[in-house]
Amino acid sequence: MFLAENERRAERLASIIQALKPTCDVLVYPRLNTLPFDVLEPSRDIAGRRSSALRRLAVAKKSILLITTAEAMMERLPLTAHWPRVGMLLRIGDAYSEQHLEARFESLGYDLDDSPDYPGGALFHGNTFEIFPAGALAPYRVEHAGARIRRIASFKPQDQEVISEVKELQIDPMSERLALKERARNRSDLFEYCARAKWIADADVPKHADTWLSTIEDAAPRAERDRAYVSRREWDQAAKRIALLSPTAPYRSTPEFFKEATPRKALRAFIEEARRGDARLVFAAAVESDLRLMAAMSGVKAEPADDWAQAIARGRRDAALLAGFDAGFVIPGRKPIVVITASDVLGSRAHQPQPANWAWSPGFDAVDLPELGSVVVHLQRGLARLGGLRSMGTAGVSAREMVRLVFAGNDAVLVPLAELALTWPYAAELGDTSLDKADGSSWRPRRAAAETEIHVVAKELAKQRSQRRRRPAPKLVPRPASYEQFVARFPYFTTPDQAQAIREVLDDLASGHPMDRIVCGDVGFGKTEVALRAAAATVLAGKQVAIVVPTTVLARQHVETFRKRFAALGIEVGNLSRVASTAEARKVRDGLKSGELKVVVGTLSLASKEIKFADLGLVIVDEEQHFGAADKTMLSGLNKNGHRLWMSATPIPRTLAAGLTGLRDLSVIATPPVHRVPVVTKVAPLSDIAIAAALVREHRRNGQSFVVCPRIQDLDPMLTRIHTQAPELRIISLHGKLSAEEIDERLMAFVEGEADVLLATNIVESGLDIPRANTIVVCWPERFGLAQLHQLRGRVGRGGIRAFAHFLTDGSSGRSEKRLSVLEELNRPGAGFAISARDLDLRGGGDMLSDRQSGHVQVFGPTLYGHLLTLALEGDRDGMSALWIPELNLPISELLPSDYVQSEAVRLEIYARAARCRTGDELEELEDETQRRFGTLPPAASNFFAIAKLRTSSRERGIMRLDVGPEAIAAMLLPGRIRRSCSRLLQRDGNRVTYAERSSAPALQRIEQFLDLLDQ
C-alpha cells in the first residue's frame, strides 16, 4: 500500500510501475472529487474507478500494489463481505437474456440510453451490446448468438477497432454506495481492506492527512462525521504502521544533456565515462520514437527489454525500455546501472507519459453526419428537419427504409437512403432562418448565389494563403539550453493536444514564413502555456513579443504569470494597461522603442500609434473573440510580415470557420487536464431564495462564489437582495467603471479570502483563476452570449473540486431557453469548441473576407459550406454538380434490419456514412466495422452493402439509372460513356443500354454479368 502526496504522483507511479513490471497488479484508488458532506454526486468516472478498486481488494486472491492518497482513504466503506453479492461476471458461453442484463445493469448504476463512449454507458443492439464498465480503460462489445455469449472484446470508440479479446468481463457497480447497506451499523475502511499490507508513504503525507481531517471536522458534528469518515484517533493509530520515505533520493541524478550547447556531444561523453566505470546503460522513454531519437544521438544500439528485470539482467550491457521516468538516475554498485531518460536528452521535446487512468475523449469532432431531429440542408430541396426513418414496402424483396424530411408548412417528403449523400447537417436549431418549400423552389435562387460566392471566396482565399506562404518572416529558433530552462519551470506534464499545439507553433516560428495560427482550447486546458512557450522561443531568438488581452483584469493576471516564468531568465515583462501608472507606462514605452524590454502585456492600447517597437517578432492575441474585426485588423498591422498567434476558448463563428477552411492554421487542445470534471450546470427561474441557497451552500464547504449581473446598475439592488437572505456572507462588488487601483485592490481582497462572494459584471469573464471559487450564479443569462456564458462557467471548477454554475433566468422566450439548454447539454470538459460550433449553427459564420457576421455560410450551414469551399480550394470546378447519385431500381430489400441494429440513430449514422463513401474500399471498411460492432451480417444487411457498392461502381461507369426486371436489365448512361464497340448481347438506343435475358439467378449476380458485358 503506497500513499502518494497527491493524485498526479499516484497516477504517474502506477504508470511507471506497470511498465517496469507488467505482471504487477497495480491499482490506483482515487479520491472523490467532492468535499466532505457535499450533497453532490461525484463524477461517474471517479466513482466507478473507486468501486472497481474496492471490489478487487475485497476479493483479491493474489498480491496487489494499491496506490492512493490520504484524502482518498478517509471515507467509511461497505464491508468486504458485501462485494461478492454486487456486480456481475459475464463469461463466454453464459446464457444471454437482454431483459435480465438490462435490469442488472440499471441496478448497478449504468445508463442504458447512453453511448458507451464514457464510463457508465451501455447500449444494446441486435446481436451485440456495448458497455463501458466501472474502472475499465475502454468500452467492451459482447456478441451473442443462440441465447449464449460468444465473444467479449474491448474496442476503441473512435473507429470501433478491437483492442483485445477476453474470456470474462467483470461489471462492477458505478458507485461504492451501491454496495453500502444504508442502515448497516457496521462499516469498514481502507485500513481493514488492507489489514495485512505493508504501508509506505511519501514524506508529506501526514501533513496532507492532517489538513483533510480538519476539513472533515469543520464540516459536520462528531456523530455524523464518525459514521461517514475515519476519525483522527483511528488515523493516528494506523499511521504508526506507515513507513515514510525520505524526502531526498539516495540516487545520483544524470546530467540534463538538453541544456548543453551540443547535447549529442555531452551525451556521448557521459556514456564514454560511464563505460569506463563498467556501468550498464538503460535508455528509457514513454514512446518508441523517442527511443529511436536517443539511439541516433547516443550512437548506442540498445537491445529492447520487456521489463526492468530484463533490462538489468546479468550479461546485458545496454537496454532500451518503454517507461516514462521524470528524470535519469544512477544506481550505485560494483557495476552501476545508469538510467538515461528521454527528458534528459530531448527536454521538452520528449513525449510525456499519459496517466494509467481513462481520459475524456476530445470535446470537438468535425462530424459531417446529419442527426435525428436536427435541421439539415438537402442540396436539391433546401432546409428541412430530419424526421427519422420510415419502413416502406412488404417484407422481402421490396422492403426498404426511407428518410423522412419535413419542410415548410409541415410538408413531409420521403427520400431514398442514397440521398443522405446530398443531406448535410445544418444546425441543431433553425436560429433566424426558416425551412424551405419541399419542391425546392424557395431554395434554388439562394443556392445559385451562394455557389457563385464560394468560387469567388475560394479564389481569394487561395491567393491570400499562397501570398502568406511566399512572404518571408524571421526564422525564430531559441537557444536550446535557455529555452529548456524556461520549460522546466512548468510544474505539470503537457497533455497530448497541448504538446502537439506547442510543436506546431514552434515549427511555424522556425519556418521562415509568417505564422497565422489560432489555438482553440477550452477554459483551463492550457492555452496560456502554449503562449508562454511561443513568447520564450521568440525572446530567446532575439525578438520582442506583445501579448494583447481584452481586459485590465486579464492583463494583470497575465503580467503576473509571465513575470513568474521569465524571472529565472532575467527577462523583464512590461505592463501597458489601466493598472500601470503614468511613470511605469512611460518606462515601458521607452523600453519597447529602445529594444531593452522584450515582453509586454497590454490591452488594445498596444496597437496605438505612440507605441513603437524596436524589433517585434510575435503578436499574441488572447481571448480573440472579444475583439471586433476592426481591432483585429489594427492588431495584425502591428507586425505585417511577422508572426501572429490567436487564442480562444470559444472562437467567434467567422474565426472558427476560417480555421476549419484553412485560411488560418488551426490547433485544437481538446484533451482536458487529468481529473478535470464537468461543472454541474443548472438553468432555473431567478429568485432570491435560489441565489442565497447556492451561495450559502458554497460558504458551508469553505468555498467562494461569483454572482454576475449584466449591468452595473443591477449590482446594488442585488447586493441588498443577497444580504437580506444571507446576512452572514461577506461580499465585494466589482465593475469596469471603478479605477484601475480599486479593481486591483478588490480583486486581490477576494483572491486572498477576505470575502465569500464577488458580485460583479462580466468583467470577471476571463483570466481569473481562483481554485477556492467553485460556485457561480449568473443572473439574467439571456442577456449574455453563449460563448460569454461558457467563459463565465469556466471561472469555477479549476481546482479538481465539483463546481456549480447556476443560470437564473427571468425570460421565458423559447429562443433563450434553447440557447441555455445548449450549456446544460454541453457541460463535459472540452465543450467550448462544440459550443462555438453550435453558435456557428445559430448565428452563421459570416463572410470569409469581410466584417459581416452573417453571410452565405448561412445558406449551406458551416459543415457543407466548409466541404464545398475545400472542394473549390482543391480546384474542383464542378462543385455541387459533381454530387449526383445513380438511381437504382432493384428487386432487392435495401435496409439494415431493426433487430440487427436496434437504434434508429445508429442505423441513420451507418446509412449516412455509406452514402458518403466514394470507393468500394471505403464501403468494405464500413462493412467490416458494422460486422465488428453488431455481429455477423444477416442477408438483408449484406444486400444493403452490396447495393451501396453497386451504386459506387455505377457512378464510376457513368450509369445515371439502372432498372432490373425479371426479363431484362436497362441502364441510362451519361453522354459519351458507352463504348463504341460494346458487346453484341447489349441493345443500344442512344445513351440507353438494355440486356434482355431470362434467368433464375439472383438479381445481384445478373447485374454483375451485365456490368461485365458493359465493360468489354
> DSSP string covering 482-502, please?
HHHHHHTT--SPPPHHHHHHH
With beta carbons less than 8 A apart as the criterion, state whether 934 and 127 touch.
Answer: yes
Could you tell me if 750 and 704 are in contact, meaning their C-beta atoms sit under 8 angstroms apart? yes
CA 218 to chain centre: 37
252-349 and 680-828: same fold?
Answer: yes
- Supply the pLDDT for residue 248: 82
Determine contact, residues 619/645, Cβ cutoff 8 Å: yes
Provide the terminal-to-terminal Cα distance of the chain, rounded to the nearest Å: 75
CATH of 904-1015, one of 3.90.1150.50, 3.30.360.10, 1.10.760.10, 3.40.50.1000: 3.90.1150.50
With cell 439539415, the residue in question is 376
Residue 826, pLDDT score: 57
Domain 252-349 belongs to what architecture?
Answer: 3-Layer(aba) Sandwich (3.40)
Task: Name which of 932, 1009, 940, 939 is nearest 969 in CA terms.
Answer: 1009
Could you tell me if 297 and 263 are in contact, meaning their C-beta atoms sit under 8 angstroms apart?
yes
Q: Would you state the pLDDT for residue 362? A: 40
Phi, psi at residue 757, to the nearest 5°? -135, 135
CATH fold for domain 680-828 = Rossmann fold (3.40.50)
Q: Which residues of the chain have pLDDT under 50?
A: 357-366, 847-854
Inter-axis angle of helices 444-470 and 862-873, to 10 degrees?
A: 50
**C-alpha cell at position 579:** 493598472
Listed by start position, the domains of the chain span 2-82+178-244, 89-169, 252-349, 493-669, 680-828, 904-1015
Provide the pLDDT for residue 577: 82
pLDDT value for 184 = 58
> What pLDDT is stored for residue 242 in this prediction?
93
Chain-centre distance for alpha carbon 771: 22
User: Which residue has 507605441 as its cell numbers?
Assistant: 611
Q: What is the CA radius of gyration of the chain?
A: 32
- Is the Cβ–Cβ distance between 790 and 832 less than 8 Å? yes
pLDDT at 363: 39
- The CATH code for residues 2-82+178-244 is 3.40.50.11180
Of 252, 347, 251, the C-alpha closest to 294 is 347
Contact by Cβ (8 Å): 442, 407: no
Which DSSP state fits 928? Answer: H
Q: Residue 232 carries which side chain, given as an amino acid letter? A: R
| 617 close to 564: Cβ distance less than 8 angstroms | no
State which fold the 493-669 domain adopts. Answer: Rossmann fold (3.40.50)
What local confidence, expressed as pLDDT, does residue 360 receive? Answer: 42
Burial of 932 (0-12, 13-18, 19+ CB in 10 A): middle
Residue 39 has a pLDDT of: 63
Is beta strand 122-124 parallel, antiparallel or unpaired with respect to 88-91?
A: unpaired
Q: What is the CATH number of domain 89-169?
A: 3.30.2060.10
Contacts of 590 (CB under 8 A, 6+ apart): none
Task: State the DSSP string of 856-908.
Answer: THHHH-HHHHHHHHHHHHTT-SSGGGG----EEE-SS-BS--TTTS--HHHHH
- Under 8 Å CB-to-CB from 74, ≥6 apart: which residues? 209, 212, 213, 216, 229, 230, 235
How high is the pLDDT of residue 530? 95
